[in-house]
Structure 1
Amino acid sequence: MKSYFFTQHSYKTQTQSSNILQQKITMSSYNQLSLFSTILLFLLLASILSAEKCHPDDKKTLFKIKKAFNNADMFASWTHDTDCCEWYLVSCDETTNRIISLSVNRDDEVAGHIPDTVGDLPYLEQLIFTDLPKLTGPIPQTISKLKNLKFLWLSHNNLTGSIPDFFGRLTKLTYINLSVNKLTGPIPPSVSSLHKLGALFLERNQLKGTIPASFGGFKNNPDFYLKLAKNQLYGPLPKSLGAVNFSVLDLNRNMFTGDASMLFGTNKGLQSIDISRNKFSFDLSKVRFPKELNVIELSHNMIYGSIPPTLAKQEHIQSFNVSYNRLCGKIPSSQELKSVDKYSYAHNKCLCGSPLPPCKK
């Protein structure tokens, strides 16, 4: 019996030891497998994270643009071993990973012409070259290939040549800013075919000619911004402009003539108008100001008549100037007009009343 007991006990002990060993082996294998899986997952994630998103064709085009600007320091982040979607000055679409924005601005080192290769970024929606004093030459024809372009900002450079007629074919454009350059020639009528355009800034160039009559086509563009100031534009305004719902209109320092009264009206959303320093001639007493109008700059013209009493009902007037015209009569009085000084009424035919001397009885 004793022998049998020890034999049975020994057998149980061996069995238990075997089970424990097997469990340890199993746990060890599981831990090794878990570690191996973790390493594979890490490598997979690292591979995904390190994979370049930028399309190779876009990357090649961007390197050509960099080379065209003599590898200026602004493009230092543009290197072969980095993802161009992460580069400074550009951005990619989150879905397609194609370049949709190129913004080169505020740099004295960037010199030369806008490279033709910008037209080889077919998904581009936003193109900005601004505040680059050494950027010269014409607006390249290749921009006409950018059928997805919505936002074009080429201001404060030294661009020359004319405004391209092809702009009218870029039907998705909502914003054009070519201000403060040395552009010459007329304003192409084709621009008015851009039915999504909300802002056209052409001020401070050397443009000549008249405002195209086709600009009345902007009548369906809500809250339109038009700035043509400080050019060499001339002639009467087309009557079709009266149908456009301007929010901001700036025509100052040109050589426009004739009637500009069609720009006003109580049913319009005009907030700011500057037609100063032209040769406009119309009866101001017949003008009715839009309710939201708060900037009214009419100085240095040949405007006649009197200041309409309805001006006193305008709310939130920020700026008002009718000096150097041919106005006569009493200046309307209101709380809103108290901030307007006498110089804003000076050099007229016979205006009177505060802040000028009292009217004669």
Structure 2
Amino acid sequence: MIRLAIFFIFLMSPLSQVSANEEVSQKEKNALIDLYNSTNGSQWNTTWDLEAPVDTWKGVEVKDGHVVGLKLFMNNLEGTLPESIGKLTYLTQLNLAFNSITGVLPKDIVNLKRLQELRLEMNRIKGAIPDGIGQLSELEIFSMFNNFLSGSIPESFGELKNLKELNLSSNNLKGIIPTAIGNLTQLETLGLFENSLEGNIPQEIGNLGKLKELVLANNQLGGEIPAEFGQLASLQILQLQNNKFDSFTGLKAMNADQFLVFDSDDKSLEPRFNEIHFERTRMADTKFEDEDENE
């Protein structure tokens, strides 16, 4: 009985309780410090006290001793993303949108296998999207509109079967829309506005039964609108203007009543649709999902 009493007292003592400030591994902490140093952390709107526990740093979410969230939306980050960001392998959310991040995407970003949300919109990131992006099998949101991305859209995007939002609008992307995009049966938003994409729209787009928003305006797309567009029963926003299509026949199979926003270069369709002209900034909206992001 005495031993049980001593054991009970030990369990209840402050020394035995898990600290509220559970420390992360040195590897993950170093990766965060690399980000701080490479993006001029001392000049952030809300900076980090590097001597304080990691879970007290703005925008850092820690769970079970690992960094699972990094949300530094609109926090005046200036500089490049370090390669070591790929060491935050427990990360599920990465939101560094609306900053002044430059350079290219680190190749090791494809190591973030648990990542569900990647938001880097409204920065100055250049270069190509890594071909290995398809390794991020848990990804639901990939948003990098309004950057300086170049090269083509990787075919491996088609491996991201959980993807709900893909927004690459207002970049410098070239080439075709990969047919593999048609594999993304959970996709609800596809934004490719204002790039230099060419070729035909793949008929596989018709497989995207949950698609609500399709914005392909201001590219060099041509050929005919696929007849498979008639299968997009959930589509509410469709914008195709300022391309080089030969025919819009594929649109005539669609239900005009389903649209909230519609715009194309075929003015003969106007009486059938409630047209709302496209605003360049529409696809530059972002969601204010985190209360602490505006503090």
Into which bin does the TM-score normalised by the smaller protein fall?
0.7 to 0.9
Q: Provide the C-alpha distance between the structure 2 equivalents of 1:229 and 1:98, rounded to a whole number of angstroms.
A: 37
Q: How does 1:335-354 map to 2 (within 5 A)?
A: none
The equivalences for 1:213-232 within 5 A come to: 213-218=179-184, 220-221=185-186, 223-232=187-196
Match of 1:105, SS? Answer: coil
The 5-angstrom pairing of residues 42-121 of structure 1 reads: 44-45=13-14, 48=17, 52-57=21-26, 58-74=28-44, 76-80=47-51, 82-93=52-63, 96-108=64-76, 110-121=77-88
Relative distance call for 1:124 and 1:267 in structure 2 (3 A) is closer
1:272 and 2:241 matched: no
Find the residue that maps to 2:258 and give its secondary structure.
Answer: coil
1:131 is aligned to 2:98 = yes
Q: Is the 8 A contact 2:41 2:48 kept in 1?
A: no
SS at match of 1:130: coil
Offset at residue 140 of structure 1 (A) = 0.2
Partner of 2:131: 165
Q: Which has the larger radius of gyration?
A: 1
What secondary structure, in the 3-state scheme, does the structure 2 residue paired with 1:206 have? Answer: coil
Secondary structure of 2:96's counterpart equals: strand
Instruction: Give the Å deviation of 1:266.
Output: 6.7
Deviations 1:56-110 (A, max 9, x none): 3232332232222344243633332x221122121112xx1311011223244x3
Residue 268 of structure 1 and its aligned partner are, at CA, apart by: 1.0
1: CA distance between counterparts of 2:112 and 2:93? 10
Residues 87 and 268 of structure 1: CA distance in aligned 2, closer, same or farther (over 3 Å): same
Map of 1:282 onto structure 2: 247
- The aligned amino acid for 1:112 is G
Q: Which amino acid aligns with 2:93?
A: Q
| Structure with more contact order per residue of length (Cα contacts < 8 Å, sep ≥ 6) | 2
**Shift in Å at residue 48 of structure 1?**
4.5
Given the superposition, is the C-alpha separation of residues 263 and 125 from structure 1 closer, same or farther in structure 2, using an over 3 Å criterion?
same
Secondary structure at the counterpart of residue 172 of structure 1: coil
**CA shift at 1:224, angstroms?**
2.1
The 5 Å alignment of 1:312-351 reads: 317=274, 319-320=275-276
The AA in structure 2 aligned to 1:250 is V
Q: Structure 1 pair 131/172, CA: closer, same or farther in 2 (3 Å)?
A: same
Q: Tell me how far apart the structure 2 counterparts of residues 320 and 76 of structure 1 sit (CA, whole Å).
A: 42
Displacement of 1:175 = 0.5
Return the alpha-carbon distance in structure 1 between the equivalents of residues 38 and 270 of structure 2. 58
What is aligned with 2:283? Answer: none
Residue type at the aligned position of 2:207 = A
Shift of 1:179: 0.8
User: Would you say the 8 A contact 1:241–1:262 is kept in 2?
Assistant: no
Match runs of 1:160-199 below 5 Å: 160-199=126-165
Give 2:244's aligned amino acid: K
Residues 61 and 263 from structure 1, CA distance in 2 versus in 1: closer, same or farther, beyond 3 angstroms? Answer: same
RMSD: 2.8
Identical aligned pairs, as a percentage?
28
Q: TM-score, normalised by structure 2?
A: 0.80
**Pair 1:283–1:197, CA change in 2 (3 A):** closer
Displacement of 1:148 in angstroms is 0.5
Partners in 1 of 2:137 and 2:213 — Cα distance? 22
TM-score, normalised on structure 1? 0.66
Match 1:293 to one of 259, 263, 285: 259
Q: Which amino acid aligns with 1:204?
A: S
Segments of 4+ in structure 1 off by > 6 A? none
Moved more, 66-75 or 122-131: 66-75
Deviation at 1:157, TM superposition (A): 0.8
Aligned to 1:208: 174
